[in-house]
Amino acid sequence: MMATAKKLEKFAVFGHPIGHSKSPVIHQQFAKQFGLDITYEAIDVAENEFEQTVREFGKNGGNGLNITVPYKLEAWQLADVRSERAELAGAVNTLKFSTGNNGELKIFGDNTDGVGLVTDIQGNYQVKIKNKKVLVLGAGGAVRGILAPLLDCQPQLLLLANRTVSKAEVLVEIFGHKGTIKATGFDNLADQQFDLIINGTAASLKGEVPPLPGTIFAKNALAYDLMYSAEPTPFMEWAKNQGAAKQTDGLGMLVEQAAESFYIWNGLRPDTGPVIKLLR
Ligand code: ATR
């Protein structure tokens, strides 16, 4: 019998701009752990070309894609089948391709952002969410993507604080059936303490911090910024100055969401610790 060559698995991340995406390095590190041969490219996809580019990638033997800003919503719309967590998130960051009975391209959409966050918090930081008080700042796309997995952990309360309270109220409507979630503005938080405070606002991008009282941190509180950067984010600096016990950015979440995507594609769970260490 003729020996068949090992198939090269093909992956990529699509975004615009794609900048200095860390995803190729992360996925190559994961693949190395299992001796898998993969390609993983970061591809800048022009506006209006997203759907066509995704379908071409799938038809040309692509196995899976990660999707980043600004295409997570379009990816959600394009998927033939979606996971429950993607359904609720209203956004898709992971696509998996397969072929139907008639040779047609089938696209499965998932969202691994929330599970990546929860794994980082509970696994890497050893902060258990069950019965804890959680404050989430912001009510945009990034926050919508993490709410279902957070509520699945059964916090005592998930308080959603946003500058525009009505947007937080809309999310409470959508996610209310999953657990105890309430909406508020930033000016209502003076008398409450939280074990976990997650910043999902876009404030850090502008070097700003949401206007919060410094009294929100319970003993041993973890302040978590979904954004990551080489330097501590403004939110992390602020939290430290207010006495939060621990602060982190979202680098661990980035690696953990990648690990969940890798699992969806390859059925293998990579060891994330060394990869987080490498990127730091
Ligand atoms: P993303 O996809 O990153 O979540 P988005 O959907 O535009 O982006 O949402 C941005 C979030 O950051 C919103 O919750 C926004 O508050 P509003 O809903 O009131 O606009 C929040 N945000 C942006 N800049 C902020 C700032 N300087 N202070 C506080 N919140 C801010």
Q: Could you tell me if residue 141 is inside a domain?
A: yes
Is there a domain that residue 29 lies in?
yes
**Residue 156 shares a structural domain with residue 266:** no
Per-residue pLDDT tens over the stretch 186-217: 998 999 999 999 999 999 889 999 999 999 99
pLDDT at 15 over 70: yes
The residue-averaged pLDDT of 83-95 equals 96
Which residues have a Cβ under 8 Å from the Cβ of 113 and sit 6 or more positions away?
Answer: 89, 91, 93, 142, 145, 146, 253, 257
**CA 141–ligand 1 middle distance (angstroms):** 9
48 inside domain: yes
Q: What pLDDT, on a 0 to 100 scale, did the predictor assign at position 256? A: 98
Helix (H) or strand (E) run with residue 146 in it:
helix 141-152
The answer on 164 and 243 residing in a single domain is: yes
CATH number of the domain at 193, please: 3.40.50.720
Q: Are residues 118 and 242 in the same domain?
A: yes
CA–CA gap between residue 86 and residue 232 (Å, rounded)? 30
Whether residue 3 is contained in a domain is answered as no
For the record, the structure tokens of 12 come out as 């990529």
pLDDT in tens, 217-247: 999 999 999 999 899 999 999 999 999 999 9
Mutational pocket test of ligand 1: of 162, 212, 226, the residue with most ligand atoms within 8 Å of the beta carbon: 162
Q: Is 72 a catalytic residue?
A: yes
Please check whether residues 15 and 132 belong to one and the same domain. no
**Full residue range of the structural domain in which residue 176 is found:** 114-249
Say which CATH number the domain at 57 has: 3.40.50.10860
> Residue 124: which of 263, 251, 237, 220 has the closest Cα?
251
Count of structural domains within the chain: 2
